[in-house]
Amino acid sequence: MSITREEVAHLASLSRLALGEDELDRFAGQLDVIIAAVARVQEVAAEGIPPMTHAAGVINVFRDDTVVPPLGADAVLSQAPSAEQGRFRVPRILAED
Amino acid sequence: MTETMPVVPYDGAVARYDPVFGLETHVELGTVTKMFCGSPAGFGAEPNAAVCPVCLGLPGSLPVINRAAIEYTIRIGLALNCSIASWCRFARKNYFYPDMPKNYQISQYDEPLCTDGWLDITVAGADFRIGIERVHLEEDTGKSLHVGGATGRIHGADYSLVDYNRAGIPLVEVVTKPVPGTGALAPVVARAYVTELREVLRALDVSDVRMEEGSLRCDVNTSLAPRGSGTWGTRTETKNVNSLRSVERAVQSEIERQAAVLDAGRRVVLETRHYHEETGQTTPGRSKEEAQDYRYFPEPDLVPVAPSAEWVERLRATLPELPSARRSRLQAVWGLSDLDMTALGNAGALDLVAGTVAAGAAPADARKWWLGELSRHANESGTELTALPVTPAQVARIAELVASGSLNDRLARQVLDGVLAGQGSPDEIVAARGLAVVSDEGTLLAAVDAAIAANQEVAAKVLDGKIAAAGALVGAVMEATRGQADAARVRELILQRLAQP
Amino acid sequence: MSGELTGLTAAAIAASVAAGDVSAVEVTTAHLDRIEAVDASVHAFLHVAADGALRAARAVDDQRAAGRPLGPLAGVPLALKDVFTTIDMPTTCGSRILAGWQPPYDATITKRLRRAGIVILGKTNMDEFAMGSSTENSAFGPSRNPWDLSRVPGGSSGGSAAAVAAFEAPLAIGTDTGGSIRQPGAVCGIVGVKPTYGGSSRYGVVAFASSLDTPGPLARTVLDAALLHEAMSGHDPCDSTSLDAPVPPVVAAARQADVAGLRIGVVTELSGAGYQPGVLARFSEAVELLESLGAKVGEVSCPHFSYALPAYYLIAPSECSSNLARFDAMRYGLRVGDDGTHSAEEVMSLTRAAGFGAEVKRRIMLGTYALSSGYYDAYYGKAQQVRTLITRDFDAAFEQADVLVSPATPTTAFPIGERADDPMAMYLADLCTIPSDLAGNAAISVPCGLAAEDGLPVGLQIMAPVLADDRMYRVGAAVEAALDQRRGHPLLDEANGLGAAGPGREAGR
């Protein structure tokens, strides 16, 4: 049930959080306590109980295939940390694969 | 970057190993708007001009499902003989990537809209039933332009520029079941499957299915097992396979590579590989064993999709005649051979021939023009037949002019060249250039007599019974009439003149 | 004059503006002056939009002058939680990662407020991305409780609650995910409402936990809350989870303020150990009061409520780990480390490490853990099953009772800093409010007196079934009227955190 510092480092990496060593220590301790507490859900006899993902019991909500005017490049690029040639400039991407 | 890898010659590989392949085909739907918002889904907008808070994933924005995308997907599922889920949900696939505005992709995970169907294809006279595992719906990502570095590719680039116009365009993924038992035909069967799938999608009018523009893209799974072992080997997934030819080559190249690995007593690594159009080879990518954990969970911003039986039946009623049925029907009507029909299919000329026949041409003539002269033009200019600037009606008119004897084949080709060059309709070009077969017998006889007089030695041979020698005289007459004579008639006249009294 | 105007209820302001007794500009100016005077102490606002507010007020006055009809809250100032997108104001969610972000679009609720002639004074402080119960998780410093400036105003909508309790605005809007409206409402001695999930639009509300987030009103009276509830609610086609149903008649219910014959269930599981004695004392009195007003009171048991907190702390972090992934420094907001040497992935990680506070990081990692393959079934999956069980508990309880009641919070406002380093202690503040978030039903917190031991406000929580929000307004208004009558003045008149500055007393309502 307990979580190791290495696991926390892995979670931080999965979550794209560049944590310092001291942060890792602190979070490892805190997450350990929290995970132990939330693990109480496992005490509940939930055999055959359907999971509930939505409070609203609604189905089939669709929209028609009609155009809504988009924002326009200027509006979206004005908030970009960096832009070039009408595009969002981002640091070099390491190949996904 | 591409190191040479050992391969086994194809024939040897398939003699010792049984290939199994599978395909995941991504199809951009041709809806007017995107999957979850009203931004236009078409090509051609300036970068980042076709984005809104939703497809740019701005904080606070929420997705709403495009009904048309659901209907298109159900129609695809029905055309592929799938069961349509009576209840399903979208999920979030979580991973970080700069071209993904929310850093999760809304997709379908364990509850696809369509499951368990099939698509029948015929290759070299043999029938294959390709099992369809699932058809599901998801959203496309943005597109990156890589700046700096030598190649303009992602590797070695200094930075990238992202355009999110494509982000959120509805994407259908058609996943086959593993296809065993095709032996040496595996690459061809894989290609034929994608070809047929493309025909089905085109008939459904749900996508423009243009592989070169990326609206249809394939990932190819391939594995090998020792021949007759009945087991399945470890598969690789080859990405970036974006033409029909590449599908075939990617399967073949993986078979050759994996055979070499197995021959060397090593094991095939479960991994993603990249296909390179230039070399026809694959190179290794991410190992699947260290694959990301996508942390799928039901998309809480959307509610379940529960198509009623009535809705599904209404959509079933809108299905067009599917390509295989249509081909059988047309083949019977046109009286063409299996081989001809396959050739028409491969060339994407079926509709064009149908249109040409509808405009009055004989089926054989229509086939001849589209697979012959017009295919040559398309190859030379590197375009598809459908992109040539000539209509089936114009082709039919040219065929008609030949059939009526107004044009010979050579003249007809000149007329066609004129049409393709944008000089007008066939009749306009015939009139403008004065292209017509010389049919005045007097003129022709004068030309024949002149040719005989000028070629006495040849004429003597013909008189001696060496009929084949008449060809030279025909050529001389054709030259004299600048090609505007019916060569067959000229030959007749020459033989008449030189006949023994 | 200005003190009198800020002491008025929203209903009174709207009536005065409509009657021409006071202009919307005068009302707005009075509130801007009040903010100027006290917000340095309270720190309820992250952004005050004086010009925009006066412009909106002038538009209302012009509309009235032109003889065009005014909406029921036209000319009434409002404080908007900084989690709603606003095209003319920054939207930060209390986070450094969004500092200065100017959204290119208005939230649906923002649009509705503008259309109703409601004057948006500015954006209020909150726990970062609505994660917290004290506003101490705001990157821009905590807000303070107008009853005692050394104490928290609750959270996450603490800025909104403090603004209303400090008479900086008669109305405010917050969002409730685990109690983020009701808990600050309770500890600030005002009314806080979580409508039925789907009753108010989430479009343009920066998401914390999508399946739980519910915008709702904060006000000094039940009627004011009802008026705002009606103005902001209703179906929104831009939010797939928005309910396509009529807004429950909450204003009529607040005016009815009558509990005769109503069955009221006291939830057994929401009391006892861990509850402050003064909270329980005020709660019991409120229940007795309801009985004296003709309600039929009985106990009901909701056995799975004890699992609500753990289930919540799996579901909400799971959703937030995904919802907050978009803050990656690529398209908007903060970017750290883009010096040509770092890759996009590294810049994302550096930015998120620098831009998010500790609580947000904890929850993102907790959620990432709960959704990981191998853990999903044991954590997230199980929590969703618990959610079903809690909903079934509610269903069964609402068979026996028309509304359910409990304390809104286990304790009164705690001192700033007391729980800042103890996440689990902080999480307990939402013990009573979380069940209704998980089930999606409606709930309200209404002030029911001060705890004897610290003289701080206690909230009575009234829970109603899905789309029966009107019932809790009926009960809340009845309690409010009876207590005000017994006391001789509104509870908030006793707030003295701001010394003599309490405008409620000046107003002499």
Give C302-316 pLDDT, tens digit per residue. 999 999 999 999 999
Give C28-52 pLDDT, tens digit per residue. 999 999 999 999 999 999 999 999 9
The DSSP-derived string for B127-176 is EEEEEEEEEEEEE---EEEEESTTTSSSTT-SEEEEE-TTTT-EEEEEEE
Using a CB-CB cut-off of 8 Å, the residues of chain C touching B63 are 240
Query: Across the interface, which of B32, B50, B298 has its CB nearest the CB of A65?
Result: B32
Query: Taking CB atoms and an 8 Å limit, are A92 and B159 in contact across chains?
Result: yes
Give C354-400 pLDDT, tens digit per residue. 999 999 999 999 999 999 989 999 999 999 999 999 999 999 999 99
Query: Taking CB atoms and an 8 Å limit, are C91 and B59 in contact across chains?
Result: yes
Give B103-162 pLDDT, tens digit per residue. 999 999 999 999 999 999 988 889 999 999 999 999 999 999 999 876 667 778 899 999
Residue C420 or B171, more confident: B171
Would you call C156 a catalytic residue per the annotation?
yes
Give B320-352 pLDDT, tens digit per residue. 999 989 989 999 999 998 888 888 887 888 889
Q: Does the bond joining C156 to the residue before it have cis omega, within 30 degrees of 0?
A: yes
Q: What is the mean pLDDT of residues B68-85?
A: 98
Band of residue C2 on the pLDDT scale cut at 50, 70, 90: low
Give C51-71 pLDDT, tens digit per residue. 999 999 999 999 999 999 999
Pairing of strands B83-84, B114-123: antiparallel
Q: What's the pLDDT at B288?
A: 54
Report how far apart, in Å, the C-alpha atoms of C158 and of each of C179, C406, C470 are: 11, 21, 25
The residues facing C7 across adjacent strands are none
SS3 C70: coil
Give C437-485 pLDDT, tens digit per residue. 999 999 999 999 999 999 999 999 999 999 999 999 999 999 999 999 9
pLDDT greater than 90 at residue B437:
no
User: In angstroms, how far is CA A46 from the centroid of its own chain?
Assistant: 27
Which residue of the set C138, C180, C271, C318 is catalytic?
C180
Q: Is C394 on the interface with A (CB under 8 A)?
A: no
* Polymer length in residues for chain B: 501
Query: Across the interface, which of A53, A63, A86 has its CB nearest the CB of B46?
Result: A86
Would you call C81 a catalytic residue per the annotation?
yes
Would you call C180 a catalytic residue per the annotation?
yes
Edge-to-edge strand ranges of the sheet holding B297-298: B104-107, B91-94, B297-298
Percentage of residues in chain C with pLDDT exceeding 90? 93
Question: Best of B161, B206, B288 to disrupt the A interface by mutation (most A CBs within 10 Å)?
Answer: B161
Query: Across the interface, which of A15, A44, A79 has its CB nearest the CB of C307?
Result: A44
Q: What's the pLDDT at B291?
A: 60
Those chains having 3 or more beta-carbon pairs within 8 angstroms of chain A are B, C
Using a CB-CB cut-off of 8 Å, the residues of chain C touching A17 are 349, 352-353, 356, 361, 364-365
Q: What is the mean pLDDT of residues B303-309?
A: 97
pLDDT greater than 90 at residue B467:
no
Percentage of residues in chain A with pLDDT exceeding 90? 82
Using a CB-CB cut-off of 8 Å, the residues of chain A touching C307 are 40-41, 43-44
CA A57-A59-A64 angle, 5° bins: 140
The mean pLDDT value of chain B amounts to 90
Q: What is the mean pLDDT of residues B242-252?
A: 93
Query: Taking CB atoms and an 8 Å limit, are B62 and C240 in contact across chains?
Result: yes
Report how far apart, in Å, the C-alpha atoms of B53 and of each of B43, B165, B490, C324 are: 19, 12, 74, 15
Query: Across the interface, which of A19, A37, A94 has its CB nearest the CB of C343?
Result: A94
Q: Which two tokens stand for residue C408?
A: 């809104």
Nearest residue in chain C measured CA to CA from A71: C104
Q: What is the mean pLDDT of residues B231-253?
A: 92
Supply the pTM of this predicted model.
0.90
Distance separating alpha carbons of residues C360 and C366, to the nearest angstrom:
10
pLDDT greater than 90 at residue B499:
no
The mean pLDDT value of chain C amounts to 96
| Residue entry with tokens 């936990």 | C209
Q: What's the pLDDT at C503?
A: 59
Give A52-69 pLDDT, tens digit per residue. 988 778 999 999 999 999
Question: Best of A5, A7, A13, A16 to disrupt the C interface by mutation (most C CBs within 10 Å)?
Answer: A16
Side chain identity at A51, as an amino acid letter?
P
Q: Is A84 on the interface with B (CB under 8 A)?
A: yes
Question: Best of C327, C385, C393, C437 to disrupt the A interface by mutation (most A CBs within 10 Å)?
Answer: C385
Distance separating alpha carbons of residues A90 and C360, to the nearest angstrom:
24
Helix orientation angle between C24-42 and C50-65, rounded to the nearest 10 degrees:
160
Q: Is C101 on the interface with A (CB under 8 A)?
A: yes
Q: Which two tokens stand for residue B8?
A: 């086994």
Query: Taking CB atoms and an 8 Å limit, are B49 and A58 in contact across chains?
Result: no
Using a CB-CB cut-off of 8 Å, the residues of chain A touching C105 are 71
Q: What is the mean pLDDT of residues C269-281?
A: 95
Query: Taking CB atoms and an 8 Å limit, are A39 and C391 in contact across chains?
Result: no
Give C127-168 pLDDT, tens digit per residue. 999 999 999 999 999 999 999 999 999 999 999 999 999 999
SS3 A33: helix
Using a CB-CB cut-off of 8 Å, the residues of chain B touching A90 are 98, 144, 159-162
Which helix H or strand E contains C488, and what residues bound it?
Answer: none
Residues of A numbered 12-71 whose beta carbons fall under 8 angstroms of chain C's beta carbons: which are they?
12-20, 23, 26-27, 30-31, 33-35, 37-44, 46, 49-56, 58, 61, 63, 71
Pairing of strands B216-226, B65-66: unpaired
Query: Across the interface, which of C83, C319, C331 has its CB nearest the CB of B56?
Result: C331
Using a CB-CB cut-off of 8 Å, the residues of chain C touching A37 are 309-310, 313, 424
pLDDT greater than 50 at residue C209:
yes
Query: Taking CB atoms and an 8 Å limit, are B300 and C211 in contact across chains?
Result: yes
Distance separating alpha carbons of residues C126 and C304, to the nearest angstrom:
30
Using a CB-CB cut-off of 8 Å, the residues of chain C touching A71 are 104-105
Using a CB-CB cut-off of 8 Å, the residues of chain C touching B296 are 371
Q: Is C150 on the interface with A (CB under 8 A)?
A: no
Residue C384 or B490, more confident: C384
Q: Which two tokens stand for residue B353?
A: 């021939």
Give the side-chain half-sphere CA count within 13 A for B35: 27
C227 CA to chain B: closest CA distance, Å?
A: 25
Distance separating alpha carbons of residues B273 and B235, to the nearest angstrom:
11
- With residues binned 3-state (H G I as helix, E B as strand, rest as coil), the percentages for chain B, rounded to 5, are 40, 20, 40
Those chains having 3 or more beta-carbon pairs within 8 angstroms of chain C are A, B
Q: What's the pLDDT at B232?
A: 87
Q: Is A73 on the interface with B (CB under 8 A)?
A: yes
Q: What's the pLDDT at B4?
A: 61
Query: Across the interface, which of A17, A26, A39 has its CB nearest the CB of C352?
Result: A17
Pairing of strands C171-176, C403-407: unpaired
Report how far apart, in Å, the C-alpha atoms of B314 and of each of B71, B119, B306, C138, C437 are: 10, 22, 15, 53, 39
Query: Across the interface, which of B58, B63, B102 has its CB nearest the CB of C240?
Result: B63
Alpha carbon dihedral B210, B212, B213, B218, in 10-degree steps, equals: 80
Query: Taking CB atoms and an 8 Å limit, are C104 and A71 in contact across chains?
Result: yes
Using a CB-CB cut-off of 8 Å, the residues of chain C touching B164 are 331
Which of B360-374, B479-493, C386-400, C427-441 has the weakest average pLDDT?
A: B479-493
Which residue of the set C23, C138, C143, C156 is catalytic?
C156
Percentage of residues in chain B with pLDDT exceeding 70? 97
B32 CA to chain C: closest CA distance, Å?
A: 18
Query: Across the interface, which of B154, B285, B304 has its CB nearest the CB of A93?
Result: B154
Distance separating alpha carbons of residues C349 and C328, to the nearest angstrom:
8
Nearest Cα to B104, choosing from B95, B116, B115, B114? B95
Nearest residue in chain B measured CA to CA from C93: B59
Q: What is the mean pLDDT of residues C336-342?
A: 94
Residue B3 or C200, more confident: C200
Report how far apart, in Å, the C-alpha atoms of C121 and of each of B19, B410, B427, C114, C192 are: 69, 83, 76, 11, 19
Give B261-290 pLDDT, tens digit per residue. 999 999 999 989 989 888 888 888 766 545
